[in-house]
Structure 1
Amino acid sequence: MNVTIYHNPRCSKSRKTLELLIARGVSATVVEYLETPPDAQTLKSILTMLEREPRDLMRTKEDVYRELDLSNVDLTAEELIDAMVNNPILIERPIVIAGGRAVVGRPPENIAVLFPQ
Structure 2
Amino acid sequence: MTMDVTIYHNPDCGTSRNTLAMIRNAGIEPTVIEYLKHPPTREQLVKMIADAGLTVRQAIREKGTPYAELGLDDPVLTEGQLLDAMLKDPILINRPFVVTPLGTRLSRPSEVVLDILPNTQKGPFVKEDGEKVLDEKGKRIG
**C-alpha separation in 2, matches of 1:56 and 1:71:** 11
- The one-letter code sitting in structure 1 at the alignment partner of 2:84 is D
| More helix as a share of residues | 1
Give the aligned partner of residue 25 of structure 1: 27
Show the counterpart of 1:56: 58
- Tell me the SS of whatever aligns to 1:53: coil
Taking CA–CA contacts closer than 8 Å with sequence separation of 6 or more, which of the two structures ends up with the larger relative contact order? 1
- Deviation of 1:108 after TM superposition, in Å, equals 1.2
Question: Taking structure 2 as the reference length, what is the TM-score of the superposition?
Answer: 0.78
Gaps of 5+ in 1: none
1:1-117 correspondence to structure 2 within 5 Å: 1-99=3-101, 101-117=103-119
- Residues 79 and 104 of structure 1, relative CA distance in 2, 3 Å threshold: same
Q: Is the 8 Å Cα contact of residues 59 and 93 (structure 2) preserved in structure 1?
A: yes
How well do the aligned residues superpose, as a CA RMSD in angstroms?
1.2
Letter in 2 for 1:83: A
With normalisation by structure 1, the TM-score equals: 0.94
**One-letter code of the match for 1:87?**
D
Q: Contact conserved, 1:96 with 1:104, CA < 8 A, in 2?
A: yes
C-alpha contact (below 8 Å) 2:8/2:35 kept by paired residues: yes
Report percent identity of matched pairs.
39
Q: Please report how far the alpha carbon of residue 49 of structure 1 lies from its aligned counterpart in structure 2 after TM superposition.
A: 0.5
